[in-house]
Amino acid sequence: MKVTPDSDQRLLILVNEQVTRLCQERDGIRLMEVCGTHTMAISASGIRRAVDPRLKLLSGPGCPVCVTTDAEIDTARQLAERQGLALVTFGDMIRVPGSLGSLAEAKAEGADIRVVYSPQDGLKMAMAEPEKEFVFLGVGFETTAPTVAATVLAAAERRVENFSVLTMFKLIPPALEFIASAKKMKIDGFILPGHVSTIIGSQPYEFLVERFGLPCCITGFEPADILEGILLLLEQLEHGPGLAIQYRRSVRPEGNRVAQQLINDIFEVTDAEWRGIGRIRNSGLKLKPDWQKFDARVRFGLRSARSSRPASGCRCGEVLLGLMIPSECRLFGRVCTPETPKGPCMVSSEGACAAYYRYER
């Protein structure tokens, strides 16, 4: 057990006392953290191992790299193999295996794939090399979409003709609706993401309380934040569901309206494929018709590759739905490690398998 300092220990005691009270009338409690940063923080702080074992903290589909499908990686790889084109992406994406191999393997075979820290870096590259096409891999949730939208606006204002975006964005509330609707998952409450909620606010989650009667708490990322968020959820289990904001130093009920407007100006909602889940209606973003000159799918006539079977034995999909923990996968720690990942949950710095491998073996 690692949870420190003293104030965190006091919260831990309160959490475990509340679990004991609640479990007088139930077998156990299953809470899902819906953010890869939460997953890593819970593992690193030792919270998952320190709480009463009747309280299960399960990882959800909140790591953007992890929920990107094989088919999306295959589409990106096929695009990267075109002559005269550079694919620009965040670092985590480059090692995610698709059915045709990873982007790192494509790069080793000669494809021009460049790692950047922001989409603006990709735009600068396009402006510096006008003879070449640059495609930014638009991966992420509501947190990433505003910066990509701002980059598209900047490209338009500067009349950059050789920059486009391959959109693979996902939206968190529709995924939570899927999980809440699925009886086999049996989730008792959600530790809601702090970063996404900073953008969208708390209002888009209200259906979880109203329709499904599920306790919800938007939580920060320090151990004390997480323990306080868990305690608020346990109190809701005892007294009735609600939607709490523990992370008040960043999240407002209405969210960040400037960022929301940026998203609404450039993107429109579309269906999206999620690894381990499949297609979820209205859970993605694509460029609006007025901005299609920056849409790589339109510019290059791309057809999305069909989803394929994951690597033999890889169970990232079940891990993302809280149906199993990483150490229950027979590949975990044997043939699947951060150096030799078989699935995205081991690749990503926010992936559940990477968190368990680093802190919970």
pTM: 0.91
Mean pLDDT by 10 residues, the chain (361 residues): 75 96 94 94 95 95 88 92 95 86 94 96 98 96 96 98 97 95 87 97 97 97 96 97 97 97 97 88 96 96 68 81 90 92 85 92 86
Considering only CA atoms, which of 192, 171, 182, 181 is closest in space to residue 242? 192
Beta bridge partners of 284: 170, 270
Percent helix, strand, coil in the chain, to 5, is 45, 20, 35
**In the block, residue with structure tokens 């229950």:** 328
Q: What is the pLDDT of residue 306?
A: 61
- For residues 310 and 327, the answer to whether their CB atoms sit within 8 Å is no
Return the SS3 of 284: strand
Q: Side chain identity at 181, as an amino acid letter?
A: S
Q: What is the pLDDT of residue 77?
A: 93
128: number of Cβ within 10 Å: 9
The stretches of the chain forming alpha helices (DSSP H) are 6-22, 36-45, 47-50, 64-67, 70-80, 103-108, 119-128, 145-157, 172-181, 194-200, 206-210, 223-239, 257-266, 296-299, 316-320, 344-347, 352-359
- For residues 208 and 180, the answer to whether their CB atoms sit within 8 Å is yes
